Amino acid sequence: MSEDLMDNNKDRVESIENLTSTHNQKRKDYLPWDDYFMATAILSSKRSKDPSTQVGACVVDNHNRIVAIGYNGFPRNCSDDEFPWSKDEDKNSMKNKYMYVVHAEANAILNSNCTALDGTRLYTTLFPCNECTKLIIQSGIREIYYLSDKYRDKPVYQAARRMLDAVGIAYKQFIPTQKQVTIDFDLIK
Ligand SMILES: Nc1ccn([C@H]2C[C@H](O)[C@@H](COP(=O)(O)O)O2)c(=O)n1
Ligand SMILES: [Zn+2]
């Protein structure tokens, strides 16, 4: 065999070996569980029609199975086009969205696909309010991960923390391992 041909064969064997070894190793840049669940909550928030704050929530059991998802919106059959999205009126005004909106966490709990949420974890894009906290406690959720706490000084959220502290439900601000998770429909071929 000529030297050129031998070199050529060696190169081909090496490149096949490289190809097999990279395909035998697991991906290193896969999405960690916690990022995956918070990203799911964010994705869910994108369904919200609220022009001001879109909230998403995702409940996960201790086998890392998603058992509930929700976002803030009006109750079933209350039209998004007829009920008001305003927040400028007095808090108790009928013209105000607060009268009607079901919060993301409440929707998740109500729409859960399992009968009991005991021992589960909640991933939510916004810290739960007092009303959702009551549902969280009663449903048996044990841990809360949240992204934003932008209303933390309002009494509603102080009351929420008071209840969570009293019953020992852990809550922690979520720090993602990566800044962005890209969903590009064109990448799936
Ligand atoms: N933990 C929370 C807190 C609030 N929401 C909903 C309720 C409203 O639709 C919106 C907040 O509106 P804003 O006062 O910022 O104009 O978020 C929720 O789903 N979960
Ligand atoms: Zn709430």
Which pTM value belongs to this model? 0.89
Q: In 10 A of CB 156, how many CB atoms?
A: 14
Reply yes or no on domain 30-172 having CATH 3.40.140.10.
yes
Can 82 be counted among the known catalytic residues?
Answer: no
Give the domain ranges of the chain: 30-172
User: pLDDT in tens for each of the 189 residues of the chain?
Assistant: 556 556 666 666 666 566 556 678 999 999 999 999 999 999 999 999 999 999 999 999 999 999 999 999 999 999 999 999 999 878 789 999 999 999 999 999 999 988 899 999 999 999 999 999 999 999 999 999 999 999 999 999 999 999 999 999 999 999 999 999 999 999 988
Which atom of ligand 1 approaches the CA of 101 most closely? 9
45 CA to centre of ligand 2 in angstroms = 14
* ipTM value greater than 0.85: yes
Which atom of ligand 1 approaches the CA of 132 most closely? 1
Rg of the chain (C-alpha set): 24
**Contact at 8 Å (CB) between 143 and 122?**
yes
State the pairing for strand pair 56-60/66-71: antiparallel
